Amino acid sequence: MNATLKRLVETIHLHVVPSDLLEYPVINYFQYRNNGYLEDFQLTNNLIQKYLPYHKKDPRLLFTLDPQIESNIIWNDCVERGMFCESIGSAHSPYRPKSDAIFCDPKFDPLKQLIVHRYIRKNVTKDHKNAFLFIHGYAESHFIFHEQFYFRLAYNQFKIDIYALELPYHHHRVPYDSPFSGAYFLNGNPIRMLEAFNQSISEIQFLVNYLKKRYDRVILFGVSLGGHLVAVSSQLVTDIDCIAALASPFLFGLSLKTNIVPIANNYILQHKEQGLASTYTILYSTNLKYFYPYTTNENTTIIGGIYDRIVPFNLVAKLAKMLQKPLYRYPGGHLTLLAWFRSLITQINRQFSSKK
């Protein structure tokens, strides 16, 4: 084990960020738009000390719904291959679209809006009563939302409106001229990463509350990192009708060490980002084992792939047992989940039907 990897493992166990890992440029999420890149090492250290203790008291305190989001709703409907793309405003969403093709509204402001895709057919007049909110996964930087045929199949078969949220720092939401990857939430700045994670939770809360006002029932479905975000959201939004989460690699310390650490080490070697290691202390503070005492939603289903090598099925089963939630297994791997999308939706639909 090399020195960087050893130090990373020690960091995860101690919940402490070594001071020598803090010597890198800082981007403070809320000051990005006005000040650009900040180089304030003391600010980073102070923020880490401020955020990390929360999960020891009540991890839910890390994630609060921004009251400004709902007051900044702006709709932008565009027809794209038979479907609509809608944008909902966010008060703290710094990104610049890589392409303006789907944004035809001249009022569209990329610094104040988040992107939500809605999958519906043209000339549909009857409103559906159920909504399905899809949260994509860890490395979906090349996820092409308008080409997801399995969403269309589910729409036709189960008569539900399907929405898909683009997570911060993914897809069109990578800040302009940002040096960081659009995927993974990985970079040398743990505060930016925590703010991206926090914003994701905030936006999911907002969207669920928004859809609850317009539909009888809402299904929240997350894959990988999206499953982790969904599981955390289930502790914060208590009136979600159904939650399905494919477990992410951040569930337990063992999984974190065996899966995330090698990924981090490879990323550090490729990009020479020594500061990257400190971001995993933040990930560990969002470990689901800190949330399970607060689990209240009775409609959560945990999903696991029998042949999943990224998130081993035995860990997913352990999570379901710990949370006392039903476990649905499918005969596939981590990256082939969507090949089983119809059967998963069938399972969820049965759960809906049983609650009527």
Separation CA 16–CA 39 (nearest Å): 21
* Reported confidence tier of residue 311, pLDDT bands at 50, 70, 90: confident
User: Region 283-308: what's the mean pLDDT?
Assistant: 65
Q: Give the pLDDT confidence of 131-146 residue by residue, as tens digits.
A: 888 888 766 544 556 5
3-state secondary structure 240-252: CCEEEEECCCCCC
- N-to-C CA span, the chain: 54
- Check if the beta carbon of residue 17 is closer than 8 Å to that of residue 276: no
Separation CA 277–CA 271 (nearest Å): 12
Cα 76 to Cα 107, 195, 205: the distances in Å are 8, 25, 20
Q: What is the CA radius of gyration of the chain?
A: 20
Three-state SS at 42: helix
Separation CA 301–CA 295 (nearest Å): 12
Separation CA 159–CA 131 (nearest Å): 9
Domains of the chain (ranges; CATH) run 3-354 (3.40.50.1820)
- Check if the beta carbon of residue 132 is closer than 8 Å to that of residue 341: no
- 178 has pLDDT over 60: no
Q: Is the pTM of this model over 0.75?
A: no
